[in-house]
Structure 1
Amino acid sequence: MYATRRVLVWILIAVFFAVALNPVTNWTQRRLVKWRWLATLLVFLATLGLLTALTALLVVPLLDEVGRLAEQVTQLLHDARAGRGPIGHLLERLHLRRYLDSRDIREYGSRLREPSLKVLRKAVFGVAGTVTIFVLAYLMVLESPKVVDRTLGLVHERHRDRVRRVGGRCARTITGYLSGNLLISVICGVLTYATMAIMGVPYAGVLALLVAVADLLPLVGATLGAVIATGASFVHSTRAGIVVLVFFVLYQQIENHVLQPMIYARAVRLNPLTVLISLLIAADLAGILGALLAIPAAGIIQIIFLDVYHGRRQRSRSGRPPSKAEND
């Protein structure tokens, strides 16, 4: 059951990427190359290059900072045992310094150095999932004109333009949701960097990037990023940790109740109250996956409902009863 759910998640993510990249592929096919396969290949190669560049911008400085931190670990542990430095002073105030020399701590540290099959397994599944999503999205974009034509062929000729119009609106809803989610993550990263830089927290840029990337995940993403950034701030100083903690508590409320409803309302053309209610219901029913799909699903339902409603209203005004073909 878990494996099936994982595959379904991969397919849904691939659909999101395919819908987002399909307009770019269509434009490339109209303006640059006439072959669909070549236009799709160019767009996906450009996307892969962009993702690789963004990953390098995140990973390279992160590895550099982690390397610097690793060089200081021995000194930090020595200072902590002696009660010196920010960690030592914090442990001294909390009366926890005596536990650093306990046998349990040393045994736990030795276990951390042992290779973990679970971590390796998750890494393999992560790579496999990324490749699968990329291939699925590529095939979806490549075959989308044929799929659309075959689907429209199943619809009565009188309704084909209408179905095509509604489908285009649904696709734009998904694209708007993705762009809105990206904008919120950028805002979160910028504000996080400003706060941590003002407090003088080391590695503020890398931590802000991690928070921004984590914020792309609904529900748990922002909390995970906040825990990492707040923990690093407390290591620097208690004052910085408290300030960063208060910032994240306030920002979470603003993002959940102001930014998300307002931005998604513009991007997906939904009422802010509808956005908030959709998120709450879907998150309660299906967790992270439900929160991920809640807003675009609500936007698509609204588009279909309004189209059906306006269609029936026009027929009632004209006094013409719906035909058998229209009911089908």
Structure 2
Amino acid sequence: MSDSTGTGAGPRTTVAGRPVVRRVAGHRPRPVPAPGAPAPQWLQVLAAVSWRLLVVVAAVSLVFYATAQVQLLFVALFLALVFTAVLRPLVDLLDRVMPRGIATAIGLLAGFAFFAGLVAYVAYSVADQWSALQRQFGQGIEQITDYLEGGSLPFVIDRDQIAEWVANAQVWVQEHSGELASQAAERAGSVVEIFTGLALAIFCAVFFLARGTSMWTWFLNQLPARVRGTWQEAADAGWSTFSGYTRGIVFVALSDGLLALVFLSALQVPLAAPLAVLVFVGAFIPLIGAPLAMVVAMIVALAANGFWAAVVVGLGIAGIGQIEGHVLQPLIMGKQVSLHPVMVAVAVTAGTLTAGILGAVVAVPLVSVAWAIFSRLRTVDPPLPDEDEDPLVEHVGERGDGVPDEEGAAPARV
């Protein structure tokens, strides 16, 4: 059965119901894809990568959702690991001369004593300098008001405008007193949660310090024997990075706080000790904490000692930040946390958007641990050649005659 047409494509016939194109002189027929032909290679690769990316995104989203539902538990376990990483060297040292349980108790008491002493010192400094600070703060506000009224700024702000702003603020507080009270009640509930999480963290840290190795061995024994080596290797890389980062950042924060205390005390800035503690706390928040501490210290110096004192304080704390970034962190942490500054900035931003200040604090150590585990378990392919090298030449001796050079290099192979 055949069917001829007069179109430019040439005569067509049908065989078993399927069109067959016959070649005609001077005519190039278009290929007709067979039914059920596979998709192009590029489309198959794109589809394979896409569904794998969707699975990864879904898994990460599930982890974030589950963590948000048990945020208090996550924070408690994170703090327990921090306490363990910081106190583990002291407990291991004491374990050489006394039972492990007693060494753990002494280590935890030492950490608690340090924290309590720090809080007591800050409270004493605030109470001792509060009256002088009130007087200096009032004088500083008066100087700032005089400068706004008759300074060299392109605009003028008089006392009547300032009084109007204060009155508007008082009206706003009165109108929103109910909302402020409810927020205060919520904060009170948050305080209870904080103490609950802290108690859970200390409880877990006791067992991590005293029986951490036995607990990890028990966990490995629950896994199939063929995967225990991989889990152990990943755990070694992750814990080494996390403990190195934790101990390093604590030492760096202490150094920043001591330098800030000496610097602010030399300039006779009020509340030097609390401001130094603020610098200490800010060191735990990459990219954000140090600028915030610097701004607060500058405001106190501006209100108490004037404009130029605030400028000097800002430059001094910025210098301390430079010492931290270029001297202390490379010297103390070394290569245990090898993240590019761009990755640090992205991690801190993502953590802040996801969980606020808490996310900014935990983002960098978590990303560092994930990268350390990935780097340990991955299989690295040969690197790409440099732009100045010929990718076809593996090695060429200096003599270029196929004979090894003086350093024992292999003959040239092209």
User: TM-score, normalised to structure 2's length?
Assistant: 0.58
1:31 alignment partner, SS class: coil
How do residues 37-48 of structure 1 correspond to structure 2 at under 5 angstroms?
A: 37-48=101-112
Cα offsets for 1:281-306 (capped at 9, x unmatched): 32233225255342464256336634
CA contact (8 A) 1:15 1:137 kept: yes
Q: Shift of residue 226 of structure 1?
A: 1.6
Aligned-pair RMSD on alpha carbons? 3.7
Higher relative contact order (CA 8 A, sep 6+): 1
Q: Bigger shift: 297-306 or 16-25?
A: 297-306
Partner of 1:97: 159
Residue 323 (structure 2) pairs with residue 269 (structure 1)? no
Partner of 1:234: 302
Letter paired with 2:346: I
Q: Which has the higher helix share?
A: 1
Deviation at 1:32, TM superposition (A): 0.7
Partner of 2:142: 88
Counterparts of residues 187-202 of structure 1 (less than 5 Å): 187-202=255-270
Specify the SS of the correspondent of 2:70.
Answer: helix
Q: 2:97 aligns with which of 31, 55, 60?
A: 31
How do 1:92-241 and structure 2 match up within 5 A?
Answer: 92-94=146-148, 95-99=157-161, 101-102=163-164, 103-104=167-168, 116-154=184-222, 167-168=235-236, 170-236=238-304, 237-241=306-310
Q: Distance in 2 between matches of 1:264 and 1:26?
A: 20
Contact 2:83 2:205 in 1 (8 A): yes
Structure 1 residues 148-188: Cα deviation after superposition (integer angstroms, max 9, x where no partner): 22133246768867865764454333222122212322333
Note the alpha carbon deviations across 1:169-224, whole angstroms, 9 max, x for none: 54333222122212322333244334434544223233223222332233432233
Matched with 2:126 is 62
Percent identical pairs in the alignment equals 17
Cα distance in 2 for residues equivalent to 1:136 and 1:290:
23
**Contact 2:101–2:210 (CA under 8 A) maintained in structure 1:** yes
CA offsets 1:73-121 (integer angstroms, 9 cap, x no match): 8xx65xxxxxxx3321211221353345443355578899x97434433
* In the alignment, structure 1 residue 298 sits paired with structure 2 residue 344: no
**In 2, Cα distance between the equivalents of 1:22 and 1:209?**
24
Q: 2:245–2:337: 8 Å Cα contact kept in structure 1?
A: no
CA contact (8 A) 1:278 1:295 kept: no
SS in 2 for 1:218: coil
Range 141-150 or range 223-232, more displaced: 141-150
Distance in 2, matches of 1:150 and 1:293, equals: 29
Which one has a bigger Cα radius of gyration?
2
Find the aligned partners of 1:24 and 1:200 in 2 and give their Cα distance: 36
Shift, 1:279, TM fit: 1.3
Q: CA deviation at 1:134?
A: 1.8
Q: Give the aligned partner of residue 76 of structure 2.
A: 10
Q: Secondary structure at the match of 2:95?
A: helix
Is the Cα contact below 8 Å between 2:80 and 2:201 reproduced in 1? Answer: yes
Deviation at 1:233, TM superposition (A): 1.0
Q: Please say which of residues 3-12 and 228-237 is displaced more in the overlay.
A: 3-12
Contact persistence 2:248–2:329 (CA under 8 A):
no
Query: Conserved in 1, the CA contact under 8 Å of 2:86 and 2:243?
Result: yes
AA paired with 1:206?
A: P
**97 and 187 in structure 1: CA distance in 2 versus 1, 3 angstrom threshold:** farther
Could you tell me which runs of 5 or more consecutive residues in structure 2 were left unpaired when the two chains were aligned.
1-64, 149-156, 381-414
Describe the shift of the 1:203–1:67 C-alpha distance in structure 2 as closer, same or farther (beyond 3 A). same
Q: How many residues align?
A: 293
Find the counterpart in structure 1 of residue 350 from structure 2: 285
Separation of aligned partners in 2, 1:14 and 1:214: 20
